[in-house]
Amino acid sequence: MTLTLRRKPKSRMISFRIDGDELLHLDALARQTSCSRAEVLRRCLRGARLKSTVDAQALSEVARVHADLNRVGGLLKLAIREGVGERADHYRLNLELRETVRTVSRAVERLAGVG
């Protein structure tokens, strides 16, 4: 059984003035949510939470980088275990991997509003 939400036709039009800062804020919200100005205002009127598609895209990218780092770490462990390559290369790769993990952690903190 599929429920179909019936939308009310939009038959009323409003017009009002806002200052430049408010317009910039409205446009920023519209960009962040990938919605029109009107849809942002409608959602605010309904008390709906505005979900940022920018944050979702950034989190998706961080998740992809995290998965890549896990794969690189696994390959490094395998190389060390199997005795592949030089010990100095293992040490250098491990340092690079640790720095990359720190970079990703800082990015996550920025996205979360911590850093």
Question: In this predicted model, what pLDDT tens digit does every residue of 7-64 receive, in sequence order?
Answer: 778 888 889 899 999 999 999 999 888 899 999 999 998 998 888 776 667 777 787 8
pTM above 0.85, yes or no: no
Q: Where are the domains of the chain?
A: 18-50, 53-112
Residue 112 reports pLDDT greater than 70: no
**What one-character DSSP code corresponds to residue 34?**
T
Judged against a pLDDT cut of 60, whether residue 115 lies above it is answered with: no
Cβ-contact 66, 58 below 8 angstroms: no
Tokens of 55: 């944050």
Q: Strands, DSSP E only, in 1-115?
A: none
Amino acid at 18: I
**What integer pLDDT is reported at residue 27 of this predicted model?**
93
